[in-house]
Amino acid sequence: MASHNLKIHEKCTVAPPSAPQTSLPLVFFDLIWIRIHPVERIFFYSLPVTHSSPSIFFTQVVPKLKTSLSHTLQHFPPLAGNVTWPNGSSHPVVQYNPGDAVSVVLAESEADFDHALDNAPKEASESRCLVPHLESSDSHASIMALQITLFPNRGFALGISTHHAILDGKSSTLFIKAWASLCKTNDDDSVSSPSLAPELEPFFDRTVIKNPSGLGVDESLEYAQRLTKRFPGENSDKSCLKLLPFRPRLEDHVRGTFELTGADLERLKNRVLSKWDSVDIIEAESNSNSTVFSKPTRLSTFVLTCAYTVVCIAKAMHGVEKEKNKFGWGFTVDCRARMEPPIPENYFGNCLMGSLADVKPSAFIEKEGFVIIAKSIHNKIKEISDNGVFHKGDETGRKYAVLAQEKAEMLGTSGSNRFGVYQFDFGWGKPSKVEITSVDRALTIGLADHRNAKGGVEIGIVLKKPVMELFGTLFRGGLSDE
């Protein structure tokens, strides 16, 4: 799906019909991400031939998408604005001014749509031309960009790029869900501001976020500045808003999607629980005071999926490159329901706390690595649930630094199987495939619910070709092992 197969029809903008000027402060949850790469997703939709011929698609389908996008932005005006750093302010803000708009690229691809939908590993670069570039400079940054790409007579791809400092996965998928809802249900274009279902209305009030001691705005900005030092030559000024160049890993890399069904997860759960008491967590030396929890009766899909996948990745990387024998895995926890008091599920922004699996870097490639990592993740989440989201929160940065000193390969996670992305119907049916394209910017696994199997999960990853081959063998083989 090389870029030369792509024809750009139009570059345009879409604005809300009539939203007032809006300024939204950024809180410590947001500012950690201020210069991190955008989150990029692609939703692939199959269309009947009656809607997917170029003449019909660009004259009927696209106008409906653009009109409903404008109506949705009326409820989400910050998405049409920019991140700016006002003179004299101690931190940046989101500023929407009337006239601000979202960039939309309209394109047409000559590539094979069925190939794009296939889960089998393919060149990592193939998806890149379907994702829009998110503009940023020293003084401001766009918050969202969109690209709509037609595959003639087959379907279309909706690519979305969002600024992580303004919205987390829960907020970005809330927006897509709201847009899909208005596109599917509002047939009267004369209505300038159709209403959304209450659960789809974003909640913007930042006063519900209480700064914990030791984890304020200044600490978040200091973290962002430390991150900048990893990119020599980039502007390291505290108020610079240009996104750092986390280059996609494309050369010699392939992108694949792997699945776990409900039955697979049940087998994995039974394997972990059967060995819970006989396999000890090999703890990191810096973590001698962790809480020990008793054997649970259940394990979440998140725990099982992440533990199984990252261990398979670590063992595949070690199998291909023996010198790679130290690993770390970081993940984020949604804090909305865990705050005191809890904040609304439709809170718009970031409400995530980072955490780490507290294990020795060599634990991932141990024979019982899956059980060790699953126990570690479960215990960490239980500790957060019991003690609050800010419990030992100031230790995460220090632990990352220790892993960096040990030159451990750091793995991460993006997305969630709870976002329900396969339910987003714009009026032409549910997605045929959803991909978190930005997992190619770091060693990250992308999670989504399963498109067909209820209770299942999909995992998107980008790895070097020989590592992906071994990963596939380990991943599939481990599901049949008893």
Residues 296, 412: one domain?
yes
Residues 461, 393: one domain?
yes
Residue 245 lies in a domain: no
Residues 56, 170: one domain?
yes
In this prediction, residue 80 has a pLDDT band, given cuts at 50, 70 and 90, of very high
Residues 38, 116: one domain?
yes
Q: Is 201's pLDDT higher than 60? A: yes
**For 43-59, how does the pLDDT look when each residue is reduced to its tens digit (9 = 90+)?**
999 999 889 999 999 99
**Confidence at residue 443, expressed as pLDDT on a 0 to 100 scale:** 96
Residues 271, 216: one domain?
no
Residue 370 lies in a domain: yes
Residue 233 lies in a domain: no
**Confidence at residue 393, expressed as pLDDT on a 0 to 100 scale:** 67
Domain boundary among 180, 211, 228: 228
Q: Is 20's pLDDT higher than 80? A: yes
Domain boundary among 228, 243, 263: 228
Q: Is 139's pLDDT higher than 90? A: yes
Q: Is 3's pLDDT higher than 60? A: no
Nearest to residue 447, comparing CAs of 331, 353, 352, 350?
331
Residues 284, 178: one domain?
no
Residue 238 lies in a domain: no
Residues 220, 259: one domain?
no
Residue 242 lies in a domain: no
Residues 17, 52: one domain?
yes
Residue 471 lies in a domain: yes
Instruction: Tell me which residue range forms the domain holding 212.
Output: 3-228
In this prediction, residue 173 has a pLDDT band, given cuts at 50, 70 and 90, of very high
Q: How many helices (DSSP H) and strands (DSSP E) are in the chain? A: 12, 17
**What CATH number does residue 142 fall under?**
3.30.559.10
User: Which residues does the annotation mark as catalytic?
Assistant: 164, 425
Residue 109 lies in a domain: yes
Global confidence as pTM: 0.95
**For 261-277, how does the pLDDT look when each residue is reduced to its tens digit (9 = 90+)?**
999 999 999 999 999 99
Residues 263, 153: one domain?
no
Asked if 256 and 448 count as a contact pair (C-beta separation under 8 A), the reply is no
Q: Is 460 left (phi over 0), alpha (psi -120 to 50) or beta?
A: beta
Question: How many domains does the chain contain in total?
Answer: 2
**Confidence at residue 92, expressed as pLDDT on a 0 to 100 scale:** 95
Lookup: tokens for 206 = 């930042």
**CA dihedral sign of residues 116, 122, 128, 129:** negative
Q: Is 288's pLDDT higher than 60? A: no
**Confidence at residue 14, expressed as pLDDT on a 0 to 100 scale:** 98
What is the DSSP-derived secondary structure letter of residue 345? Answer: T
Q: Is 390's pLDDT higher than 70? A: yes
Asked if 326 and 362 count as a contact pair (C-beta separation under 8 A), the reply is yes
Domain boundary among 228, 244, 265: 228
Residues 270, 341: one domain?
yes
Residues 276, 400: one domain?
yes
Residues 308, 223: one domain?
no
**For 84-125, how does the pLDDT look when each residue is reduced to its tens digit (9 = 90+)?**
999 988 899 999 999 999 999 999 999 999 999 999 999 999
Asked if 410 and 94 count as a contact pair (C-beta separation under 8 A), the reply is no
Q: DSSP states of 45-102 as a string?
A: EE--HHHHSHHHIIIIIHHHHHHHHHHHHHH-GGGGSEEE--TT-SS-EEEE-TT--E
Residue 234 lies in a domain: no
**Confidence at residue 376, expressed as pLDDT on a 0 to 100 scale:** 94
Q: Is 401 left (phi over 0), alpha (psi -120 to 50) or beta?
A: alpha
Cα dihedral 386/388/390/396 (nearest 10): 30
Residue bearing tokens 């969630």? 416
In this prediction, residue 289 has a pLDDT band, given cuts at 50, 70 and 90, of low
